[in-house]
């Protein structure tokens, strides 16, 4: 048996034993249902695991991850997750978490092709283009990419506020908060970049929906 593979099965047995040892009812309680307070939208990068970096347990966080933590309004996968999280699970916080040293963001700054992911990264090129003046001032490419990572997170927070799903929740008086974070791979620390609590802020009128008709 391949060692890398067997490690997972062994790890699982140990996990189940330890959890049951700490709390014999642990899995029984979890099996009754989930009521997470948070929706996490993060990068697929193996170094940014949602639960570990926030010190949360099974059942606390509903998770969606894709390359470079994007919120693309035509992405039915993400939109299904978002709708379910907001309307059924009734999460209180939606977190977009990017990370410094993001390969997806870095790749989007180049002219290389990587396959299908080029189309996905095209969305980040648009963020670059929008902030070109600021980004081109930064000579160091790692620093430029880290700044693009931050701008990209802020952009995705904005995209969430522009969805009908989130706006309807606000309209119905529900306090859904959107947070933009960036995680430092070399510090383990999260920096809070932006938070949006309601539709009073800087959502362009063209993205606002009317619910009172
Ligand atoms: Co990444």
Local confidence band at 212 (pLDDT 50, 70, 90 cut-offs) = confident
Q: What is the pLDDT of residue 201?
A: 74
Q: Are residues 8 and 42 in the same domain?
A: no
| Pairwise CA distance, residues 196 & 203, whole Å | 10
Residue 118 within a domain: yes
What distance in angstroms lies between residue 121's CA and the mean position of ligand 1's atoms? 11
Q: Are residues 12 and 50 in the same domain?
A: no
pLDDT computed for residue 156 by the predictor: 98
Please list, in sequence order, all residues whose beta carbon lies within 8 angstroms of the beta carbon of residue 155, skipping any fewer than 6 positions away.
Answer: 127, 130
Catalytic choice (97, 102, 144, 146)? 102
Query: Do 27 and 38 belong to one domain?
Result: no
Question: In this structure, what CATH number is given to the domain that contains residue 54?
Answer: 3.40.1050.10
Whether residue 212 is contained in a domain is answered as no
Considering the domain architecture, whether residues 113 and 152 belong to the same structural domain is answered as: yes
Write down the catalytic residue from 45, 64, 97, 146: 45
Average pLDDT over residues 162-191: 96
Mean local confidence (pLDDT), 27-42: 97
Q: Which residues contact 212 (CB under 8 A, 6 or more apart)?
A: none
Q: Which domain holds residue 150?
A: 34-207
What does the pLDDT look like over 37-87, one tens digit per residue? 999 999 999 999 999 999 999 999 999 999 999 999 999 999 999 999 999
Clarify whether residues 16 and 113 are in a common domain: no
**Residue 189 belongs to some domain of the structure:** yes
Residue 14 DSSP SS3:
helix
Which of 43, 106, 144, 146 is labelled catalytic?
43
Q: Are residues 20 and 65 in the same domain?
A: no
Residue 81 lies in a domain: yes
The Å distance, Cα 48 to ligand 1 centre, comes to 8
Residues 22 and 66 in one domain: no
Residues 90, 192 share a domain: yes
* pTM of the predicted model as reported, rounded to 2 decimal places: 0.96
Q: How many domains does the chain have?
A: 2
- Owner of token pair 């969805």: 163
Kindly state whether residues 64 and 169 are assigned to the same domain: yes
Average pLDDT over residues 119-142: 97
53 and 65 housed in the same domain: yes
Distance 13 CA to ligand 1 centre (A): 30
CA of 173 to the centre of ligand 1 (A): 34
Mean pLDDT value of segment 163-173:
96
> Mean per-residue pLDDT for 142-150?
97
> For position 152, what pLDDT does the model report?
98
User: Do 185 and 93 share a structural domain?
Assistant: yes
Asked if 97 is an active-site residue, the reply is: no
Please report whether residue 213 resides in a domain: no
Question: Would you say residue 85 lies in a domain?
Answer: yes
Residue 141 resides in a domain: yes
Cα–ligand 1 centroid distance for 87 (angstroms): 28
Whether 45 sits among the annotated catalytic residues: the reply is yes
Percent of the chain with pLDDT over 90: 94
**Residue 186 domain flag:** yes
State the pLDDT at residue 199: 80
User: Cα dist. 163→27, 82, 84, 131 in Å?
Assistant: 35, 10, 14, 22
Rounded Cα distance between 67 and 48, Å, is: 12
Residue 35 pLDDT = 96
Judgement on whether residues 10 and 87 belong to the same structural domain of the protein: no
Query: What's the whole-number mean pLDDT along residues 190-201?
Result: 89
């Amino acid at each position: 048996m391949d060692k890398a593979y067997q490690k997972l099965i062994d790890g699982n047995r140990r996990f189940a034993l330890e959890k049951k040892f700490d709390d014999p009812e642990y899995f029984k309680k979890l099996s009754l249902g989930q009521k997470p307070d948070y929706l996490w939208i993060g990068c697929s990068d193996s170094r940014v695991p949602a639960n570990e970096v926030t010190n949360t347990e099974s059942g606390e966080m509903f998770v969606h991850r894709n390359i470079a933590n994007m919120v693309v309004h035509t992405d039915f996968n993400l939109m299904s997750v978002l709708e379910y999280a907001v309307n059924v699970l009734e999460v209180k916080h939606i977190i977009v978490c990017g990370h410094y040293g993001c390969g997806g963001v870095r790749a989007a700054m180049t002219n290389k092709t990587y396959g299908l992911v080029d189309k996905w990264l095209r969305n980040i090129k648009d963020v670059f283009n929008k902030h070109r003046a600021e980004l081109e001032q930064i000579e160091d490419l790692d620093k430029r990419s880290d700044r693009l990572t931050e701008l990209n997170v802020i952009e995705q927070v904005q995209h969430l506020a522009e969805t009908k799903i989130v706006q309807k929740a606000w309209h119905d008086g529900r306090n859904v908060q959107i947070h933009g974070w960036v995680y430092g791979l070399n510090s383990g620390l999260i920096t809070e970049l932006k938070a949006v609590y309601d539709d009073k802020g800087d959502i362009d009128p063209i993205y606002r929906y009317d619910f009172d008709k």
